[in-house]
Amino acid sequence: MKGPQALLDSVDRMATRMGQAFVGSRAVFRGQDLHAELRHLDWMALYVLGITGRHHGAAQVRLLHALWVCTSYPDARIWNNRAAALAGSARSTPALGIAAALAMSEATIYGGHPYVSSIDFFIRARAHVDAGGALGDFIEAELARGRIYGYGRPIASIDERLPWVLGIARELQLDGGPHLRIALEAEQLLVARSPKLRMNYAALMSALCADLGFSPGEMHHFQVPVFMAGMSPCFIEAAERAPGTVFPLSCEHVAYEGPAPRRWPSTPTQP
């Protein structure tokens, strides 16, 4: 329903299926008592319960933890970490600095967008293969419409995170899912076209999450804090230094193309 009636129906009430805080009494989280039933839950398990509405097993939660841990780089040169470091250098607050860095993580090429596009690709590719289609044909059709996210890396063609995460998935016996198989096969087909199109972290993480039942929308929420553990160290170290000393630029580093240097007329001496 749209229009004024929709607004009137929402006056003085907030319909929700997610939960509610009964202040002074209890709190409900996805239909369960947060304190009585969920108080011992691992934080990651609670986070994905909030996103998906589903409980995940211990091995699955360990894998989800690993996906965050293995890409937590405390390197202030990385695009989103730089925002956290500059915030610390400017003596901002941790909340503002980390919020800015998280906002910058929502990047189209190498941030949050590739995870969403990649898991969407794998879900559709699996449906195509399950219906009897060839993965190669599906890839050709995708490439005809544009790029396939999750393959290729701007800095280096080899992604150092992949063997470690695959090893953890193997240890947890979570490396046999259909979406991961498609991801690995797609890498072979794409590398045959160009050696630079090797799998990157977005493809691996998305394939593993697809095998856990994540939808593209759920993946979008799950990946938001994926880099966050590396941000606070960048903020803290920058805040320990003198203000403004993080990535300063001298005039020699500025590619100036404006008017040439010129003399300014002297100000007349006041009588």
Question: What CATH number is associated with residue 152?
Answer: 1.10.230.10
Give me the amino acid identity at 162: L
Tell me if residue 127 falls in helix, strand or coil.
helix
Residues 39 and 136 in one domain: no
Asked if residue 133 and residue 44 are part of one domain, the reply reads no
Q: Is residue 227 part of a domain?
A: no
Q: Which two tokens stand for residue 46?
A: 């609670």
List, in sequence order, the alpha helices (H) in the chain: 4-9, 43-52, 58-69, 79-89, 94-104, 112-130, 135-145, 162-171, 178-193, 201-211, 216-222, 231-240
* Calpha distance 53→183 (Å, rounded): 26
- Boundary (domain end) residue, out of 207, 222, 237: 222
In a domain, 125, yes or no: yes
Same domain assignment for residues 129 and 200: yes
Tell me the β-bridge partners of 20.
28
Same domain, 26 and 116: no
pLDDT for the residue numbered 53: 96
Max CA-CA distance within the chain?
Answer: 94
Asked whether residue 49 is assigned to any structural domain, the reply reads yes
pLDDT of residue 87: 97
Asked if residue 27 belongs to a domain, the reply is: yes
- Please name which of 251, 171, 177 lies closest in space to residue 208, comparing C-alpha atoms: 177
Same domain, 117 and 210: yes
For residue 50, give its domain range.
Answer: 21-55
Q: Are residues 218 and 116 in the same domain?
A: yes
Are 48 and 116 members of one domain? no
Amino acid at 178: P
Domain co-membership, 123 together with 203: yes
Which segments of the chain have a pLDDT < 50?
Answer: none
Tell me the C-alpha distance between 87 and 97, whole Å. 5
Is there a contact between 221 and 209 (Cβ–Cβ < 8 Å)?
no
Instruction: Give 13's contacts (C-beta < 8 A, 6+ positions apart).
Output: none
Q: How many domains does the chain have?
A: 2
Alpha carbon distances (Å) from 64 to 73, 101, 232, 260: 17, 21, 21, 56
Q: For 133, left (φ over 0), alpha (ψ -120 to 50), or beta?
A: beta
Q: Looking at residue 2, what is its pLDDT?
A: 74
Q: Which of 210, 212, 206, 221 is nearest to 18 (CA)?
A: 221
DSSP string, 251-270: GGGS---SSPP-PPPPPPPP
Residue 103 lies in a domain: no
Q: Is residue 116 part of a domain?
A: yes
| Same-domain pairing of 37 and 125 | no
The tokens describing 202, both together, are 């977005």
In a domain, 201, yes or no: yes
Residue 68 lies in a domain: no
